[in-house]
Amino acid sequence: MANELQLIVVTPETTIVDEPVSALRFPLFDGQMGVLPGRAPLVGRLGCGELKLTAASGERSYFIDGGFVQINGEIVTLLTARCLTNNDIDADAARAELDEAMRRPASNDADIDARFRDQDRARKMLAAKK
């Protein structure tokens, strides 16, 4: 069993992270998951929220927005629609998204679900910025 994992984070545009880490934590669609070396294989659906990793250079965090995770041996791959560093998060834009989602009318279950999902995403983005 190795002491490190190889973390790869990929968006449609580019590879954001490709480096060894000693631990990481990320949101699944139904809760948080932490990963240490030696973890059993897994495929899962990502939620939105903070990806936190511990590397030789220290702890870092990113905001990720859905996607999929695969753990295969010591390789952890996250495929996500969006991955932002704390510096890339625009707090004013996130607050505006939250305000818009809170004001948006909803007349059916799909609209209500979309509104709650957008509110949750904006709140988690603001939390990751802090």
> pLDDT tens digits for 30-71?
999 999 998 999 999 999 999 999 998 899 999 999 999 999
- Do 11 and 75 fall into the same domain? yes
Report CA 70 to chain centroid distance, whole Å: 14
Instruction: Provide the domain count of the chain.
Output: 2
3-state DSSP call for residue 90?
A: coil
Are 98 and 67 contained in the same domain? no
Domain that holds residue 111: 89-129
Same domain, 69 and 25: yes
Same domain flag for 33 and 56: yes
Compute the chain's Rg from CA coordinates: 16
Question: Using an 8 Å Cβ cutoff, are 22 and 2 in contact?
Answer: no
| Type of residue at 24 | L
17 with 77, same domain?
A: yes
Residues 47 and 102 in one domain: no
DSSP run (H or E) holding 46:
strand 42-55
CA distance 29 to 40: 19
- Cut 0.85: pTM above it: no
Give the tens place of pLDDT for each residue, 73-129. 999 999 999 999 888 888 888 889 888 988 888 889 998 888 988 888 888 888 887
